């Protein structure tokens, strides 16, 4: 039987992996991962460290099957062809990539393989429903979430695929490199990586998913799933999660299913509008007056704005490479509406530090909050960081955990809006802006381009 290549990318798992099943059906399989400099370099230290850990976890799984992950470094257009030739493969199997770079890369790899008489076979995607498949009555993609969510649910998805059985394997003998093991940034704690860790985390969350609708907006409690990083790297497929949620009848499970729909909605928007990875979806907002980044951006990045919930979020990001989603919206609104900086500055910082940084979800989550994305009437929605903190962190547990200066309740009775005397006492900065004045300034700038 001919050999085939399983080219792993954002599907670092063995179970529920249709591309891997197709490769196994061909005959002996070479498990391959390409360290692509175009992706490895810009990934940021947090994602590089996690990816290395996830690759090692996948390699350990494969070694239980008496094989290993062959890792090569370089341009995939060259390295995939060389690997396929080395093992005499007739086909290279991979899950389809719908991102702007991934589509260009795969087209170039497909052409190079074809010249060598080798076929690139795309099977499955990182999504329950492939981007571009859910369309409205006119055959166009949705730009508003709610109708997309309904159509996505009505479309449905396949059941999870079985793990491979009876597979035979092969490895590359030459030209491979060690799986990278970069240290995470100093002081940063990464979650456990790999398919087994993803499944354990998912099972743990299922025990409390019924409370998700009530707890998901409370950053001070463990109310979210923390599955985003496992979805980012494909250590679990959303089909697996949706199948488990289908057995639940709670409001919490239904709300969580909508969060998975948001991920697929944003993937579809980026698929149709690849320019929005860097540019405004609603192009009129590019004409708005924005301030130049400087010391205010640095204070925001370092969690020194003087607004406790904002600073808590930014410090959490640097400590664990993750931030609660409600707080992501608060800090994004503050950057765009209070500091009048373009959303790209914040999105770039998130992409650098977030362990779960997903291009579609990150860029369009930022644009949603900034008011220039997929929302019909958004710009006058300006989050007040103090009232948001009081509402969603009423006891102050989240702020006290991440803002060390405000940790002592005896010295700081009100962690969300300590008075100036208290701030001086504990060494916490005064608010860097007047929120009320900056909110009006943001609305005035919006009026100028309406």
Q: What is the rounded distance in angstroms from the CA atom of residue 219 to the CA atom of residue 3? A: 49
Residues 337 and 364 in one domain: yes
Give the distance from CA 255 to its chain's centroid.
19
pLDDT digits (tens, 9 = 90+) for 186-195: 889 899 999 9
Q: Confirm whether 153 is domain-assigned.
A: yes
List, in sequence order, every residue forming a beta bridge with 8; answer none if it has no partner.
33
List, in sequence order, every residue forming a beta bridge with 4; answer none if it has no partner.
29, 91
Residue 150: CB atoms within 10 Å: 13
**CATH number assigned to the domain comprising residue 381:** 1.10.579.10
Q: What is the rounded distance in angstroms from the CA atom of residue 354 to the CA atom of residue 110? A: 31
What pLDDT is stored for residue 381 in this prediction? Answer: 86
Could you give the angle at the alpha carbon of 332 between the alpha carbons of 330 and 337, nearest 5°? 95
Q: Do the beta carbons of residue 354 and residue 228 sit within 8 Å?
A: no
Residues 114 and 155 in one domain: no
Q: Comparing C-alpha atoms, which of 37, 298, 244, 72 is closest to residue 174?
A: 72
Q: Confirm whether 246 is domain-assigned.
A: yes
- Rounded to the nearest 10 degrees, what angle do helices 308-320 and 385-392 cross at? 70
**CATH number assigned to the domain comprising residue 13:** 3.40.50.620
Q: Comparing C-alpha atoms, which of 142, 33, 155 is closest to residue 374?
A: 142
pLDDT digits (tens, 9 = 90+) for 227-245: 999 999 999 999 999 999 9
Residues 387 and 250 in one domain: no
Residues 118 and 137 in one domain: no
The structural domain count of the chain equals 3
Residue 338 gets which letter from DSSP? I
Residues 232 and 248 in one domain: yes
Q: Confirm whether 216 is domain-assigned.
A: yes
Scan for tokens 């100093």, then name that residue: 186
Q: Comparing C-alpha atoms, which of 47, 26, 38, 134 is closest to residue 79?
A: 38
**Rg value, the chain, Cα:** 23
Which residues of the chain carry a pLDDT beneath 50?
Answer: none
Q: Confirm whether 277 is domain-assigned.
A: no
Scan for tokens 């992996």, then name that residue: 17
Q: What is the rounded distance in angstroms from the CA atom of residue 24 to the CA atom of residue 165? A: 8
Q: Do the beta carbons of residue 363 and residue 276 sit within 8 Å?
A: yes
Q: Confirm whether 171 is domain-assigned.
A: no
Q: Comparing C-alpha atoms, which of 263, 196, 204, 207 is closest to residue 235?
A: 196
How many H helices and E strands in the chain? Answer: 20, 5
CA distance readout (Å), 418 to 338, 414, 424, 439: 19, 5, 10, 21
Domain housing 354: 283-449
Q: Confirm whether 390 is domain-assigned.
A: yes
Which tokens go with 203? 């099972």
CA distance readout (Å), 166 to 21, 29, 134, 315: 11, 11, 36, 48
Q: Do the beta carbons of residue 416 and residue 399 sit within 8 Å?
A: yes
Work out the burial of residue 74: count CB atoms within 10 Å of its CB; fewer than 13 is exposed, 13-18 middle, 19 or more buried: middle
pLDDT digits (tens, 9 = 90+) for 365-384: 999 999 999 976 677 889 99
Domain limit, last residue, from 125, 151, 177: 125
Residues 245 and 329 in one domain: no
Question: Helix, strand, or coil here: 257?
Answer: helix
Residues 252 and 298 in one domain: no
Side-by-side strand order, sheet with 29-35: 70-73, 29-35, 3-8, 89-94, 119-122
Residues 84 and 228 in one domain: no
What pLDDT is stored for residue 375 in this prediction? Answer: 77
Residues 62 and 46 in one domain: yes
Work out the burial of residue 186: count CB atoms within 10 Å of its CB; fewer than 13 is exposed, 13-18 middle, 19 or more buried: exposed
Percent of the chain exceeding pLDDT 70 equals 100
CA distance readout (Å), 57 to 52, 161, 192, 323: 9, 21, 10, 24
Q: Comparing C-alpha atoms, which of 95, 100, 161, 154 is closest to residue 127?
A: 95
Give the distance from CA 423 to its chain's centroid.
35
Residues 257 and 313 in one domain: no
Residues 23 and 96 in one domain: yes
What pLDDT is stored for residue 380 in this prediction? Answer: 81
**CATH number assigned to the domain comprising residue 205:** 1.25.40.80
Domain limit, last residue, from 227, 244, 272: 272
Residues 338 and 203 in one domain: no
Q: Confirm whether 136 is domain-assigned.
A: yes
Work out the burial of residue 32: count CB atoms within 10 Å of its CB; fewer than 13 is exposed, 13-18 middle, 19 or more buried: buried
* Host H or E run for residue 315: helix 308-320
Give the total residue count for the chain. 450
Q: Confirm whether 364 is domain-assigned.
A: yes
What pLDDT is stored for residue 202 in this prediction? Answer: 98
Q: Comparing C-alpha atoms, which of 238, 252, 255, 242 is closest to residue 207?
A: 252
Could you give the angle at the alpha carbon of 124 between the alpha carbons of 43 and 35, nearest 5°? 30
Positive or negative CA dihedral for 302, 308, 313, 315?
Answer: positive
Domain limit, last residue, from 98, 125, 152: 125
């Amino acid at each position: 039987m001919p050999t085939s290549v399983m080219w792993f990318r954002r599907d670092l798992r063995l179970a529920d992996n249709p591309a891997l099943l197709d490769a196994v059906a061909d005959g002996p399989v070479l498990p391959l991962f390409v360290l692509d400099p175009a992706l490895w370099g810009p990934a940021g230290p947090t994602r590089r460290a996690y990816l290395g850990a996830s690759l090692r976890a996948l390699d350990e799984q494969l070694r239980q099957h008496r094989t290993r992950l062959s890792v090569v470094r370089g341009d995939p257009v060259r390295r995939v062809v060389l690997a396929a030739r080395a093992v005499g493969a007739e086909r290279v199997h991979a899950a389809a990539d719908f991102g702007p770079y991934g589509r260009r890369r795969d087209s170039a790899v497909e052409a190079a393989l074809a010249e060598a008489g080798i076929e690139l076979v795309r099977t499955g995607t990182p999504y329950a429903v492939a981007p571009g498949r859910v369309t409205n009555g006119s055959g166009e993609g949705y730009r508003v979430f709610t109708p997309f969510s309904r159509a996505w649910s009505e479309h449905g998805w396949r059941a999870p695929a079985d793990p491979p059985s009876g597979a035979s394997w092969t490895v590359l003998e030459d030209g491979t490199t060690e799986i990278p093991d970069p240290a995470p940034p100093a002081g940063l704690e990464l979650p456990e990586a790999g398919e087994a860790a993803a499944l354990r985390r998912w099972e743990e969350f299922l025990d409390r998913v019924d409370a998700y609708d009530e707890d998901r907006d409370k950053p001070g409690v463990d109310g979210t799933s923390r599955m985003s990083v496992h979805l980012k790297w494909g250590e679990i497929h959303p089909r697996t999660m949706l199948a488990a949620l289908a057995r639940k009848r709670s409001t919490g499970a239904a709300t969580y299913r909508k969060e998975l729909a948001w991920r697929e909605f944003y993937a579809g928007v980026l698929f149709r509008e690849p320019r929005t990875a860097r540019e405004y979806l609603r192009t009129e907002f590019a004409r708005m007056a924005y301030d130049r980044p400087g010391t205010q951006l640095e204070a925001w990045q370092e969690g020194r704005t003087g607004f406790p919930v904002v600073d808590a979020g930014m410090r959490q990001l640097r400590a664990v490479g993750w931030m609660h989603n409600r707080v992501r919206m608060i800090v994004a609104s503050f950057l765009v509406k209070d500091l009048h900086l373009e959303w790209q500055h914040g999105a770039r910082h998130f992409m650098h530090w977030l362990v779960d940084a997903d291009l579609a979800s990150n860029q369009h989550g930022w644009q949603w909050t900034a008011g220039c994305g997929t929302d019909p009437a958004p710009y006058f929605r300006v989050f007040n960081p103090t009232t948001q903190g009081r509402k969603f962190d009423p006891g102050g547990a989240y702020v006290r955990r991440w803002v060390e200066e405000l940790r002592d309740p005896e010295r700081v009775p009100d962690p969300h809006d300590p008075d100036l005397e208290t701030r001086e006492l504990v060494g916490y900065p005064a608010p860097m802006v007047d929120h009320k004045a900056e909110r009006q300034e943001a609305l005035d700038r919006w009026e100028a381009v309406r």
